[in-house]
């Protein structure tokens, strides 16, 4: 009942990271399109260079911050899985069962990685994907490796603890 760091938690983390990445990506894409239109209005109607320079500075900072925010969320989510796995007692008899069932999580991570690569290959998103190098690397070609690494790390932490002496 009080399991954390187990398969459902790991599956939730893998899917949630992909969802957050896609939301950040599309949010930035839409926001950047809006800012470009706003840029045109400032140039055409008002010819205000101070507002235009400020808007571009804000846009440059905002475009790079979401990539690092995703990286921070990924580390935070995996750290929470590690800490809760360390705090959970589980029998070593479930080691092989955990390993076999975790292949579902790895398969899910591979499918999500392929979906991200399809999204990144779309020519409409070429400029937006260029603003997300960390997210593109992690969710693209390295996502199955990241997921497999987390599975192995959680298995070591869950089943590598010294059993209770009761």
At 166, the pLDDT band (50, 70, 90 cuts) reads: low
pLDDT one-digit tens code per residue, 9-20: 889 999 999 999
pLDDT of residue 75: 94
pLDDT of residue 76: 94
With vertex at residue 165, the alpha carbon angle to CA 154 and CA 1, rounded to the nearest 5 degrees, is 50
pLDDT of residue 46: 66
List C-alpha distances in Å: 156 to 19, 100, 118, 144, 161.
Answer: 27, 15, 33, 18, 8
> How many Cβ atoms are within 10 Å of 149's Cβ, its own excluded?
12
CB 132 within 8 A of CB 67: yes
pLDDT one-digit tens code per residue, 98-136: 889 899 999 999 999 999 999 999 999 888 898 899 999
Q: Is residue 55 scored above 80 in pLDDT?
A: no
At 48, the pLDDT band (50, 70, 90 cuts) reads: low
Q: Is residue 58 scored above 90 in pLDDT?
A: no
| pTM: predicted TM-score of the whole model, two decimal places | 0.83
Q: Look up residue 166 and give its DSSP letter.
A: -
pLDDT one-digit tens code per residue, 66-75: 989 999 999 9
Range 153-164 average pLDDT? 82
Range 144-157 average pLDDT? 92
Q: Is residue 51 scored above 90 in pLDDT?
A: no
Spell out the domain ranges in the chain. Answer: 7-159
Q: Is residue 144 scored above 80 in pLDDT?
A: yes
Range 32-51 average pLDDT? 75
């Amino acid at each position: 009942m009080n399991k954390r760091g187990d398969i459902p938690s790991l599956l939730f983390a893998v899917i949630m990271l992909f969802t957050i990445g896609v939301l950040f990506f599309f949010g930035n894409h839409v926001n950047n399109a809006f800012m470009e239109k706003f840029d045109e209005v400032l140039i055409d109607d008002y010819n205000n260079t101070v507002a235009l320079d400020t808007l571009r500075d804000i846009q440059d900072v905002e475009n790079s911050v979401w990539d690092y925010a995703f990286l921070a969320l990924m580390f935070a989510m995996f750290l929470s899985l590690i800490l809760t796995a360390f705090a959970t007692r589980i029998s070593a008899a479930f080691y092989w069962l955990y390993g076999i069932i975790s292949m579902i999580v790895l398969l899910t991570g591979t499918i999500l990685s392929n979906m991200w690569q399809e999204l990144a290959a779309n020519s409409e998103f070429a400029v937006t994907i260029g603003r997300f190098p960390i997210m593109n690397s992690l969710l693209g070609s390295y996502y199955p490796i990241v997921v497999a690494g987390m599975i192995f790390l959680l298995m070591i932490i869950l089943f590598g603890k010294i059993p209770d002496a009761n």
